[in-house]
Chain A
Amino acid sequence: MPMTGREYAWKRRPGWWLRNRRYLMFQLREAGGVVCALYGLVLLNMLVQLRAGESAYTAFLDLLRTPPVLYLNVVLFALVVWHALTWFMLIGKAQPIQFTRQPLPWKVVFGINVLLWLGVSGAVVYLIFGGI
């Protein structure tokens, strides 16, 4: 923004996102988005390895089963879950489409979204594994 000569330009402090808990949660949500995209690349690579043949695919699966990758997966999964949950919270707070005269409490919308999410996830698991 244009400034006059004697104004002091505001500068954002490093670590601004540690200033309060909500900024930190926001940054984790955004990091979760990046992780989602990166994990998509891992899954794409799995397809590439599958196309490359059985030995390549088996080697890739063996790599995924090593402890460092498993630990990494736990962290990535936590970030992805946090990303999804925070978006479900936000849907309830915004509600661009209202189905009722008054906006629904955000916790109700959050609960509906989580139930739908679990339902769809369960259906996907059932389709792939034929039940757990």
Chain B
Amino acid sequence: MAASDVVFRVKRYRPESGGRPTFQEYTIPYRNDMVVLDGLNYIKDHIDPTLTFRWSCRMGICGSCGADVNGQPRLTCGTYIRDVHKGAVTVEPLSNFPILKDLVVDFDDFLRKLASVTPYIVRKDWGDLTKEYVQYPEDVEAYRQQSLCINCMLCYAACPVFGSSPEFVGPAASALALRYNRDTRDEGADARLARLNTRTGVWECTFVGECSVVCPKDVDPAAAIQTLKFLATMRHMRRLLMPGSSSR
């Protein structure tokens, strides 16, 4: 191995042959400016074309290339090899998700949960669609942080609660629910809070906080969930004390 080489230990799972996932080692040349995704692409292009992983934008926007790098969920496009290179770089599929092949995991469960919180603007009456729904900078600022979520699922991979209770709605879906609940154009807050105020909703969260640590966009889903707990409680009390009150 040359001085400028690095060893990648990549977890492989071959569904066609069954069995358990195993590690495979690859030695690749590396430069100081290479990210982990560059290393994976080098392996695929020059050593082993059967290695399977997701990626797209290479700039931390699409959220496709998440993997556990040296045991921590990271975007492989945003992780420099020089920062994680301690003898070897270990790359595994994101924790807490079923593995489809190699580093590719099944996100269907997350997509169902995301759909359950209606992650889009809900209105009872859209009225005149040619009209502009004006928002001031402070209105945008109210939900800007949560709107940065790219659905990369690193937060789910870091969440031990989701690992032990897979029915938990989870960090990203909760953060996006808060994003739309804070949008002045939206009228679906009551239904979202009803969904999140269930056994599988935000109350499952025990505030480990790791979701916010690993989030590459500083969305802070842990804080979003605690805010939703407060809002769900307020909604519950309002319905208890003032049954005829309006939704928001």
Task: Report chain B residues within 8 Å CB of A6.
Answer: 15-16, 18, 100
A90 an interface residue at 8 Å Cβ cutoff?
yes
**B230 & A8 in contact (Cβ 8 Å cutoff):** no
Task: Report chain B residues within 8 Å CB of A23.
Answer: 160, 208, 210
Task: Report chain B residues within 8 Å CB of A90.
Answer: 207, 209, 226
Task: Report chain A residues within 8 Å CB of B20.
Answer: 8
Smallest CB–CB gap between B29 and chain A, Å? Answer: 30
Task: Report chain B residues within 8 Å CB of A16.
Answer: 160, 163
Chain A proximity mask over B223-237: 1 for CB below 8 Å, otherwise 0? 100110111000000
A51 an interface residue at 8 Å Cβ cutoff?
no
B27 an interface residue at 8 Å Cβ cutoff?
no
**A8 & B227 in contact (Cβ 8 Å cutoff):** no
**B207 & A94 in contact (Cβ 8 Å cutoff):** yes
Interface of A, helix, strand, loop or mixed by DSSP? loop
**B223 & A94 in contact (Cβ 8 Å cutoff):** yes
Cβ < 8 Å to B, chain A residues 21-73 = 22-23, 26, 30
**B222 & A93 in contact (Cβ 8 Å cutoff):** yes
B28 an interface residue at 8 Å Cβ cutoff?
no
**B13 & A10 in contact (Cβ 8 Å cutoff):** no
Determine the distance from Cα of A93 to Cα of B201 in the docked complex, in whole angstroms.
20
One of B72, B98, B213 near A10 (C-beta < 8 A): B98
**A96 & B164 in contact (Cβ 8 Å cutoff):** no
**A7 & B15 in contact (Cβ 8 Å cutoff):** yes
Query: Which B-chain residue is minimally distant from A95 (CB atoms)?
Result: B223
Determine the distance from Cα of A3 to Cα of B105 in the docked complex, in whole angstroms.
11
**B222 & A22 in contact (Cβ 8 Å cutoff):** no
Determine the distance from Cα of A17 to Cα of B208 in the docked complex, in whole angstroms.
11
- Which one of A1, A8, A9 has the highest number of Cβ atoms from chain B below 10 Å of its Cβ? A8
Task: Report chain B residues within 8 Å CB of A4.
Answer: 106
Query: Which B-chain residue is minimally distant from A22 (CB atoms)?
Result: B210
Smallest CB–CB gap between B154 and chain A, Å? Answer: 14
A100 an interface residue at 8 Å Cβ cutoff?
no
Task: Report chain A residues within 8 Å CB of B230.
Answer: 96-97
One of A7, A10, A22, A94 near B227 (C-beta < 8 A): A94
Determine the distance from Cα of A19 to Cα of B222 in the docked complex, in whole angstroms.
20
Task: Report chain B residues within 8 Å CB of A22.
Answer: 208-210, 213
Task: Report chain B residues within 8 Å CB of A30.
Answer: 206
**A17 & B99 in contact (Cβ 8 Å cutoff):** no
**A10 & B15 in contact (Cβ 8 Å cutoff):** no
Determine the distance from Cα of A8 to Cα of B112 in the docked complex, in whole angstroms.
20
Task: Report chain B residues within 8 Å CB of A3.
Answer: 98, 106
Task: Report chain A residues within 8 Å CB of B71.
Answer: 19-20
Contact A7/B226 with A1-B109, A20-B71, A23-B160 known, Cβ cut-off 8 Å? no
Smallest CB–CB gap between A101 and chain B, Å? Answer: 9
**A96 & B106 in contact (Cβ 8 Å cutoff):** no
Contact A8/B223 with A1-B166, A23-B208 known, Cβ cut-off 8 Å? no
User: 14 A–B contact pairs at CB < 8 A?
Assistant: A1-B109, A2-B109, A7-B15, A10-B105, A12-B96, A12-B160, A12-B164, A17-B160, A20-B72, A22-B210, A23-B210, A26-B160, A93-B220, A96-B226
* Known contacts A30-B206, A93-B223, then 19 further A-B pairs from the complex at CB < 8 Å, ordered by chain A residue: A1-B98, A3-B106, A6-B18, A7-B98, A8-B20, A8-B99, A10-B95, A10-B105, A12-B96, A12-B160, A20-B72, A26-B206, A93-B209, A93-B220, A94-B223, A94-B226, A95-B223, A96-B231, A97-B230
The 8 A-B residue pairs with the shortest CB-CB distance, nearest first, are A96-B230, A94-B226, A6-B15, A1-B109, A7-B98, A8-B99, A26-B208, A96-B227
